Chain A
Amino acid sequence: MPYEDLFYWWAIAISWSSIFLIVVGIYLYTGSRKRSNLPANPVKLSKNLVFVWILLGLLVLYLVSIHLGSATLFAAGNIFVEAILMIYILKNRTESEQIPPS
């Protein structure tokens, strides 16, 4: 692997950015739960934090594919995650609202 001595530092940097994102996401989520005074529900929690699981999955994919230096694995993994994200987005699509004519 080229630049092998840098891999460790790179892994820390990319993990740090995704973990930071996950922490911020969880922090915002708990803040909103507190504001709405809703009781904690583990099933709902895992469903609501689907986005966090996707992030973790992506991180693993990137670490492994880069470590192996496999562009194929990288491409296939990306396509798979994109499909999941598409489903998630379409399931959560918003209705385009219409303003009454003025």
Chain B
Amino acid sequence: MIRPDELLSLDIDELFARLNTSESGLTSQEARKRLETYGYNELARKKKRTAIVRFLAHFRSPLVIILLLAGLISGFLGEVRNTAIISTIVLISVLLDFYQESRAEKAAEMLSEKVRTTATVLRDGVRQEVKLSEVVPGDIVSLSAGDIVPADARIVNAKDLFVNQSALTGESFPVEKTSASLKAKNSTITEWNNCLFLGTSVVSGMASAIVVRTGSSTEYGRIAKRLVARQPETEFERGLRRFGYLIMQITLSLVIFVFFINALFKRGVLESLLFSVALAVGLTPELLPMILSVNLSKGALAMSKKNVIVKRLPSIQNFGSMDVLCTDKTGTLTENRITLVLHVDAERRENEKVLLYSYLNSYYETGLKSPLDEAILRHQNIDTKCYLKIDEVPFDFVRKRVSIVVECERQRFLIAKGAPEEIVKACSYYELADNVYDLGDEPRKKIEQEYYDLSSEGFRVLGVSYKKVREDKAVYSFNDECDMVFLGFVAFLDPPKETATESMQQLSAAGIKLKILTGDNELVTRKVCEQLGFKIGGMVLGSQIAQMQDEALARIVEWANIFARVTPAQKDRIMNALKKNGHVVGFLGDGINDAPSMKTADVGISVDNAVDVARESADIILMRKDLTVLHEGVLEGRKTFGNTMKYILMGTSSNFGNMFSAAGASLFLPFLPMLPMQILFMNLLYDVANMTLPTDTVDEEYIRKPRRWDVGFVRKFTLFFGPFSSLYDFLTYGIMLFIFAATPELFQSGWFVESFWTEVLVIFVIRTRRIPFFSSRPGKWLTILTLSCVVFGTLVPFTPLGRSLKFVALPPSYWMLLVLMVATYLLLVEAGKVFFYKICKF
């Protein structure tokens, strides 16, 4: 292991020798060996549990443990059949749960592989992309702007390298890094300017570096070890946790209450314990984790088909709940491809000479080509054969222009292109319709006005000028840029995307407010918005935000939808203000400076071709930078949310009601209303019926607007719909006792069938808000499985399985009353829906 002082001070060659590597990097074989020696380059890699461990983990539930224990005791007391049945039912439940969850996990893993971040390393002397987790000490990595530093490394060479290491050191400004050796032995890592650290990112420049430490041995790894690296809970997860506590409290009170009442009635401690625990099992939505995982992974798969990859599964719920989307303008609403749109003279008349001269200037310029040069060269192919380059006066930030000298047919021209105000300064003449005039005060003002007008219209503008050069010399300088002829302007625009207007309308129709947060100026932003038909509700500048208190900003973010010239820190403030106002905020970005905002947002969204740091920070990756894809993804997110809510609402209504009536019955009945194994069996059947719930269809009007987790709504729903099922359970007790004079076995069989029918069939009523419920078509598999379960549950009392569960055959007249009773129940719940949804909005 290299010591810190060695890392800083060793010569590169010595470092190569110490790490047994060279400038051409490691061989693939050596890299594999090192991967085995040093392990994966990951911070505290989450240990993948074996299948058997994951299976056994399902038995950790206290309820399952108590059930198995009680069953075992019952076996010791002679009820061996009881023990066998209870154990089998528990085992089948756990197996189902385990199988579904494993499938969901596998699907999610496969999806995240699609957007795995890579690093460029030299292996076998060739540059190649390897997974970030497979980088090993001794690898030579190549880095450029936007890259994530894949491990702790010493710089071999660097050019204009600036690194953002705020995640590690808290420094808010990028730090310059060089390859020079350092001698500071006791310095802190903020002074280690020849080292790069895992988790930081390159802001500008490029470098190659030798990897020294990976994974948990890195500086970042040491911090991560101390902190429990845990993603913050989403709003949905938080809501679910609270819901879990609520259910736990109710279950616990119920178990204690039922146990003591039954034990007091001298039904035997063991039987009472089994009954109360079975009731608790019935009450607990134990399938919820499985339904949630399957729902999320199914949602993620559906989204991937629509070119949206989910990196963090729980974010799907937030994605569906998102009601404000903050986005950068460039590349999302615009093509992110600067295009030449005008080449005009001083009076804004199209002029081919302006195009030719600007083309020659861009063509022969040897400095770094700007996007504007590229736009000019892309605009039209112009034959430059006639023009021979003589010299060039490069661009600098004082003159803000670049000049070239070309010769054509023995005539030399100096052609300048640059910031219009600087171009005009070098001119004494101007040209209109091939005539050259003196550039007096009046035409100069007109040219300046034209420049101002073009800029106001949102164009990026460059001026073009030329002069005929009389002296034949080899080298020209900026002193030659005088007495030039002003020729005209070239104007550029980043054109709006063709799909942008339609996508914005779709998002708006889906209840998502779009807010543009851009570093660009207000004029350009306004122009793009006009072209897109985006209604500007209010425009706020970064300079205004800088002077605003948070309270004022909180009010402004509600109506303003354009924030121009904003810094990344201001983007954070805007999003925090929106979140505080109760919105679920998404942020779509692809740049280096977008990464912090993505973390601030409830849902960070990026694109596949974004810089590494942005992709790493994002929860969701769009495979196309297009809002249409986003809209489709949001709808999928809402479907996932909808199906999860269905399970919760059903679980807390019918299930809840059934179990409460069982508890109530145990108060006055001289026998148990249902045997513990019968309750468990019914619970298992109900769970099977619910397994296809993630495949269910969701009503179009439900996904029309964002929905949010609302524990208050769940509580109201439970309080209201729970008693319906209790009412009909008590009615069944009455029929069984007072009409059929039922024996305990007949009573239990009768209630089992009624309870199961109502519990399962009500799924079709509750799954939709539509009245009548059959106007919403349920999913094919849900229908098939649910009805199959109903048929199976109905036939069970007539089978040997039923007999082993101590069921008996029911009289024909009971079936007639049951059909009538269940029909009334379903209609009553439907009528309850009319009433409930009129007064409870969700």
Residues of A whose CB lies within 8 Å of any CB of B are 1-3, 6-7, 9-10, 13-14, 16-18, 20-21, 24-25, 28-29, 31-32, 48, 51, 54-55, 58, 62, 66-67, 69, 71, 74-75, 78-79, 81-82, 85-86, 88-90, 92-94, 96-100, 102
Q: How far is the CB of B790 from chain A (nearest CB, A)?
A: 20
Is B472 close to A, CB under 8 A?
no
Q: How many residues of B contact A (CB 8 A)?
A: 57
List residues of chain B with CB within 8 A of the CB of A3: 737-738, 741
- Asked if B727 contacts A17 (CB within 8 A), the reply is yes
Interface readout for B656-694 with A: 1 if CB under 8 Å, 0 if not?
A: 000001001101111000000000000000000000000
Is B268 close to A, CB under 8 A?
no
Residue of A nearest to B668 (CB): A9
Is B82 close to A, CB under 8 A?
no
- Asked if A71 contacts B739 (CB within 8 A), the reply is yes
- Asked if A31 contacts B723 (CB within 8 A), the reply is no
List residues of chain B with CB within 8 A of the CB of A96: 701, 770, 775-776
Interface of B is mostly: helix
Is B631 close to A, CB under 8 A?
yes
| Docked pose: A17 CA to B827 CA in angstroms | 18
Is B2 close to A, CB under 8 A?
no
Compute the total of residue contacts between A and B using a CB distance below 8 Å: 145
List residues of chain A with CB within 8 A of the CB of B665: 13
Among candidates B661, B772, B830, residue contacting A17 with C-beta atoms closer than 8 Å: B661
Interface readout for B337-379 with A: 1 if CB under 8 Å, 0 if not?
A: 0000000000000000000000000000000000000000000
Q: How far is the CB of A62 from chain B (nearest CB, A)?
A: 6
Residue of B nearest to A52 (CB): B835
A17 and B723 in contact, given A94-B769, A99-B700 (Cβ under 8 angstroms): yes
A10 and B734 in contact, given A25-B835, A102-B631 (Cβ under 8 angstroms): yes
Q: What 15 additional pairs, Cβ within 8 angstroms, besides A28-B720, A29-B839, A74-B735?
A: A13-B664, A14-B730, A14-B734, A21-B720, A24-B719, A51-B832, A54-B831, A55-B828, A69-B739, A75-B820, A78-B823, A85-B830, A86-B827, A94-B771, A96-B776
| Docked pose: A67 CA to B821 CA in angstroms | 17
- Asked if A82 contacts B724 (CB within 8 A), the reply is no
List residues of chain A with CB within 8 A of the CB of B820: 74-75, 78-79, 82
- Asked if B824 contacts A82 (CB within 8 A), the reply is yes
List residues of chain B with CB within 8 A of the CB of A98: 700
A1 and B772 in contact, given A13-B665, A31-B839 (Cβ under 8 angstroms): no
| Docked pose: A29 CA to B839 CA in angstroms | 6
| Docked pose: A14 CA to B753 CA in angstroms | 19
Residue of A nearest to B747 (CB): A3
| Docked pose: A2 CA to B738 CA in angstroms | 5
Residue of A nearest to B729 (CB): A17
Among candidates B506, B828, B840, residue contacting A28 with C-beta atoms closer than 8 Å: B840
| Docked pose: A17 CA to B741 CA in angstroms | 23
| Docked pose: A24 CA to B733 CA in angstroms | 23
- Asked if A20 contacts B733 (CB within 8 A), the reply is no
| Docked pose: A55 CA to B631 CA in angstroms | 44
Residue of A nearest to B736 (CB): A3
List residues of chain B with CB within 8 A of the CB of A75: 816-817, 820
List residues of chain A with CB within 8 A of the CB of B726: 17
Among candidates A20, A51, A67, residue contacting B834 with C-beta atoms closer than 8 Å: A51
Is B18 close to A, CB under 8 A?
no
List residues of chain A with CB within 8 A of the CB of B704: 97, 99
Between-chain CB contacts (< 8 Å), 18 pairs: A9-B667, A10-B668, A10-B737, A13-B668, A13-B730, A14-B734, A17-B661, A17-B664, A24-B719, A54-B828, A71-B813, A89-B830, A90-B772, A92-B771, A94-B775, A96-B770, A97-B701, A98-B700
List residues of chain B with CB within 8 A of the CB of A10: 668, 730, 733-734, 737-738
- Asked if A32 contacts B771 (CB within 8 A), the reply is no
- Asked if A28 contacts B733 (CB within 8 A), the reply is no
| Docked pose: A102 CA to B448 CA in angstroms | 46
List residues of chain B with CB within 8 A of the CB of A24: 719-720, 723
Q: How far is the CB of A94 from chain B (nearest CB, A)?
A: 5
Q: How far is the CB of B89 from chain A (nearest CB, A)?
A: 28
- Asked if A14 contacts B827 (CB within 8 A), the reply is no
In the complex, which of the residues B670, B704, B831 has the most CB atoms of chain A within 10 Å of its own CB atom? B831
List residues of chain B with CB within 8 A of the CB of A25: 720, 835
List residues of chain A with CB within 8 A of the CB of B265: none
Interface readout for B698-724 with A: 1 if CB under 8 Å, 0 if not?
A: 001101100000000000100110011
Residue of B nearest to A30 (CB): B839
Residue of B nearest to A101 (CB): B506
- Asked if B827 contacts A7 (CB within 8 A), the reply is no
Residue of A nearest to B670 (CB): A6
Is B509 close to A, CB under 8 A?
yes
List residues of chain B with CB within 8 A of the CB of A93: 771-772, 775
| Docked pose: A14 CA to B831 CA in angstroms | 19
Is B836 close to A, CB under 8 A?
yes
List residues of chain A with CB within 8 A of the CB of B824: 58, 78, 81-82, 85
- Asked if A99 contacts B703 (CB within 8 A), the reply is yes
| Docked pose: A62 CA to B769 CA in angstroms | 28
Is B635 close to A, CB under 8 A?
yes
List residues of chain B with CB within 8 A of the CB of A29: 835, 839
List residues of chain B with CB within 8 A of the CB of A74: 735, 739, 817, 820
- Asked if A99 contacts B701 (CB within 8 A), the reply is yes
List residues of chain B with CB within 8 A of the CB of A54: 828, 831
Is B731 close to A, CB under 8 A?
yes
The 3 A-B residue pairs with the shortest CB-CB distance in the complex, in nearest-first order: A2-B741, A9-B668, A32-B839
A89 and B839 in contact, given A17-B730, A24-B723, A75-B816 (Cβ under 8 angstroms): no
- Asked if A69 contacts B834 (CB within 8 A), the reply is no
Residue of A nearest to B832 (CB): A51
In the complex, which of the residues B632, B827, B838 has the most CB atoms of chain A within 10 Å of its own CB atom? B827
* B804-821 contacts to A (CB < 8 Å): 813, 816-817, 820-821
In the complex, which of the residues A48, A79, A92 has the most CB atoms of chain B within 10 Å of its own CB atom? A92
| Docked pose: A29 CA to B704 CA in angstroms | 26
Among candidates B716, B723, B770, B827, residue contacting A94 with C-beta atoms closer than 8 Å: B770
A28 and B716 in contact, given A10-B734, A78-B820, A94-B770 (Cβ under 8 angstroms): yes
| Docked pose: A3 CA to B741 CA in angstroms | 7
| Docked pose: A48 CA to B734 CA in angstroms | 30
| Docked pose: A94 CA to B703 CA in angstroms | 16
- Asked if B840 contacts A32 (CB within 8 A), the reply is yes
| Docked pose: A75 CA to B814 CA in angstroms | 11
List residues of chain B with CB within 8 A of the CB of A71: 739, 813, 817
- Asked if A89 contacts B506 (CB within 8 A), the reply is no
Among candidates A9, A13, A90, A102, residue contacting B506 with C-beta atoms closer than 8 Å: A102
List residues of chain B with CB within 8 A of the CB of A32: 838-840
Among candidates A1, A82, A100, residue contacting B827 with C-beta atoms closer than 8 Å: A82
Q: How far is the CB of A83 from chain B (nearest CB, A)?
A: 10
- Asked if A62 contacts B734 (CB within 8 A), the reply is yes
- Asked if A28 contacts B836 (CB within 8 A), the reply is yes
| Docked pose: A99 CA to B506 CA in angstroms | 10
- Asked if B727 contacts A6 (CB within 8 A), the reply is no
| Docked pose: A18 CA to B769 CA in angstroms | 23
| Docked pose: A27 CA to B669 CA in angstroms | 31
| Docked pose: A38 CA to B737 CA in angstroms | 47
- Asked if B772 contacts A89 (CB within 8 A), the reply is yes
List residues of chain B with CB within 8 A of the CB of A89: 771-772, 827, 830-831, 834
- Asked if B830 contacts A1 (CB within 8 A), the reply is no
In the complex, which of the residues B628, B632, B738 has the most CB atoms of chain A within 10 Å of its own CB atom? B738
| Docked pose: A21 CA to B653 CA in angstroms | 12
Q: How far is the CB of B813 from chain A (nearest CB, A)?
A: 7
- Asked if A100 contacts B669 (CB within 8 A), the reply is no
Q: How far is the CB of A26 from chain B (nearest CB, A)?
A: 10
| Docked pose: A25 CA to B733 CA in angstroms | 24
List residues of chain A with CB within 8 A of the CB of B635: 102
List residues of chain A with CB within 8 A of the CB of B838: 32, 48
- Asked if A66 contacts B771 (CB within 8 A), the reply is no
List residues of chain A with CB within 8 A of the CB of B719: 24
A51 and B835 in contact, given A2-B741, A17-B727, A71-B739 (Cβ under 8 angstroms): yes
